[in-house]
A and B are shown apart, each in its own frame.
Chain A
Amino acid sequence: MNEVWIFAEQKDGKLRGVSHELATEGRRLADSLETGLAAVCLGHNVQGVDQLVALGVDRVYLLEDPVLADHNEDVYTTCLVDLVRQHSPQVLLAGATTLGRSFIPRVAARLETGLAANCTGLEIDPQTRSLLQTRPCYGGTLMATVVCPEKRPQVATVRPHVFKKGPSDASRQGEIVRVDFDSSSVTSSTRLIDVIEDMGEKVKLEEADIIVCGGRGLGSPKNFDMLSELAEILGAALGSSRPPVDDGWVPYAYQVGQTGKTVSPKVYFACGISGAPQHLAGMQTSDIVVAINEDPKAPIFDIATYGIVGDLFKIVPLLTARLRQANA
């Protein structure tokens, strides 16, 4: 039976969280298809691939070379397509990260197969045994289930943080297959010149367990300082709805939603955010949503786990103060 595959993305030699999530989810799908699970990892000096085995991967195809250290999409596309052609997996999953959303479409196109973007639900159809891929569209107002009935592999990018990393079993046996990589055989027309870590030392939105997000209800740019304080004490990342970005209060990199970033933290604080569909599209898969809004009819309360109807200028400082007390 053809295997289920995951693309295990690394960054600076460390596997990304989504790679662990995919290992767990891939195992579940492989079990229901009664087949094996393999991971493909491209990088240089990659740490912790055994972790993938412990999470349920049977075989890791590992390609290591200095050329693969950065996410060169031309090279990544060629490597992944070659491996897929050699082994013909039936399913290929990758994280819907910047990298995944940029190069996986090219992989799928070169293989002339289907691709579902940014999936939040995966199931095996009991009748046809094909992969049911559920994903948000129309800015999250609708969900669509997509299948790829004939072409193989069935390829999906999967939204990070939606699937949970399962328990790992260090005694699990798996195979690490080192695949030869001949750097002279690949060419690339792109070159990375510089990396600007302009979010500074701050917690990155995509990786944060907790996000404190502010909207138009904050009223003015300096009030983001108030949110920053709360974020800092929680070890959280700071985010924004669209209006504060449009008005230049905070950089675009902070924007959550259809036009901005897609996040799925353990806790999402929505402060002074009404909850327009385009905003919800970027955060509605968060585990716990805390909404603070003075308008009891704000749609954000429809998806909030905990809702506080009140003035955020009272609630937020109080919250920060209580957390400070507790930490002291």
Chain B
Amino acid sequence: MNVVVCMKQVPESVTISGVPQGTASVRPQGKMVINPFDMYALEEGIRLKERYGGRVTAISMGPAEAEEALKEAIALGIGEAVLVCDPILEHSDTLATSYVLARCIERLERPDIVICGRQATDGDTGQVAPQLAEQLGLPFLSYVSRIEDISDGRLTAQRLVDEGHQVVQVSLPAVISVVKEINEPRLPSLRGLMQAKKAEIPRWTAPDLGLDVSKVGLDGSPTRVVNVFVPQRSQQGQMLEGSPESQVDQLLEKLRDAKVI
């Protein structure tokens, strides 16, 4: 089994005060962490390796600092890692990002499964995984909550959908995105931490991957962010005062007036 996990480094939080109204780009300060959803993707990749043997490689596209995140992945038990890093890739949207990740994956030993997190907590789009599948010409399964079986070149998995769960079968190789329900990520081991310390993370640039530069970065991205702002609360809220009985009665009256109950 050959597994690739796509992971991204994201800010742990954004401080709203640092974002003036009407700016087109956000520069969140503070600690950078592995996108929380990618922790589940990494864990699942490591479990697949433990169960079926083979290799698991983490890849990330990002600035030089993202190397730290990849080292954290190695500390968890990911065997190898690659950082795709080139200033020309800055400001890539999901289409451009998925193009770059696809070309990167094509450089690696052909994977059976590519695992992504459900979404990254910065852009919150959840688009890279399905678009990556498209760019690789592979099938895609979103919101996977359990891998049930892998055999005869097929993956059987449970996925979370609006109605509950589905059991779906997909032919391999395939791209999947995973939700939190799938596992409980482990902590790094001492041995892992040692390995991470020594690890040399290869850095691939746009020329290394033979990228078409018209398809990456700001110029290669069909979308533009034109404004970023702090959401305004449209309605002024009302506190209901008095005894609990009176609070409840006022509330019910409001809801009845609004014809919602």
Interface residues in chain A, defined as those with a beta carbon under 8 Å from any beta carbon in chain B = 11, 73-74, 77, 97-98, 101-103, 105-106, 108-110, 112-118, 132, 135-151, 188-199, 204, 206-207, 209-210, 234, 252-253, 258-259, 266-267, 281, 284, 287-290, 301-311, 314-315, 318-319, 322-323, 326
Using CB atoms, name the residue of chain B closest to A319.
Answer: B248
B190 within 8 A of A: no
Chain B residues numbered 210-261 whose CB sits less than 8 Å from any CB in chain A: 221-231, 233, 235, 237-240, 244-245, 247-252, 254-255, 258, 260-261
Whether the Cβ atoms of B223 and A143 lie closer than 8 Å is: no
Question: Which of A101, A112, A306 is the one whose CB lies under 8 Å from B251?
Answer: A306
CA distance A199 to B54 in the complex (A): 37
- How far, in whole Å, are A78 and B156 apart by their CA atoms in the complex? 23
Among candidates B95, B126, B174, residue contacting A108 with C-beta atoms closer than 8 Å: B95
Given A105-B134, A138-B121, A315-B244, also A144-B261 (CB < 8 A) = no
Say whether B224 contacts A109, CB under 8 Å: no
CB <8 Å contact, B168 and A193:
yes
Cα of A192 to Cα of B124 in the assembled complex, Å? 27
Are B231's CB and A140's CB within 8 A? yes
Given contacts A114-B221, A259-B36, contact A194 B244 (CB under 8 A): no
CA distance A25 to B226 in the complex (A): 22
Q: Hey, what's the 0/1 contact readout for B25-53 against A, CB within 8 Å counting as 1?
A: 01010000000110000000000000000
Residue of B nearest to A296 (CB): B239
How far, in whole Å, are A41 and B248 apart by their CA atoms in the complex?
Answer: 45
Given known pairs A105-B134, A112-B222, the reply for A266 and B260 (CB within 8 Å) is yes
- Nearest residue (CB) in B for A120 is B231
Query: How many Å lie between the Cα of A190 and that of B141 in the bound state?
Result: 8
Decide yes or no whether B60 CB sits under 8 A from chain A: no
B134-A110 in contact (CB<8A): yes
7 A–B pairs (Cβ distance < 8 Å), ordered by A: A105-B131, A105-B134, A108-B127, A197-B163, A252-B145, A258-B124, A319-B251
B171's nearest neighbour on chain A, judged by CB, is: A189
Please tell me if the beta carbons of B228 and A305 are within 8 angstroms of each other in the complex: no
Nearest chain B CB to A300 CB, angstrom units: 10
Report, nearest first, the 4 A-B pairs whose CB atoms are least far apart.
Answer: A114-B222, A114-B223, A105-B130, A189-B139
The interface residues of chain B lying within 8 Å CB-to-CB of A113 are 95, 222
**Contact size range, B:** 35 or more
Residues of B within 8 A of A (CB): 11, 13-14, 16, 19, 26, 28, 36-37, 93-95, 98, 121-127, 129-131, 133-135, 139-143, 145, 156, 158, 160-171, 174, 179-181, 221-231, 233, 235, 237-240, 244-245, 247-252, 254-255, 258, 260-261
Is A106 a contact of B164 with CB atoms below 8 Å? no
Q: How far is the CB of B104 from chain A (nearest CB, A)?
A: 16
Once the chains are docked, how many angstroms separate the CA of A88 from the CA of B163?
A: 33
Known: A116-B223, A253-B164. A142 touches B94 (CB 8 A): no
Contact at B93–A114, with CB atoms within 8 Å?
Answer: yes
Known: A101-B142, A117-B127, A204-B162. A144 touches B225 (CB 8 A): yes
With both chains docked as a complex, state the minimum distance between the C-beta of B175 and any C-beta of chain A, in angstroms: 10
A106-B170 Cα distance, complex, nearest whole Å: 17
The interface residues of chain B lying within 8 Å CB-to-CB of A195 are 163-167
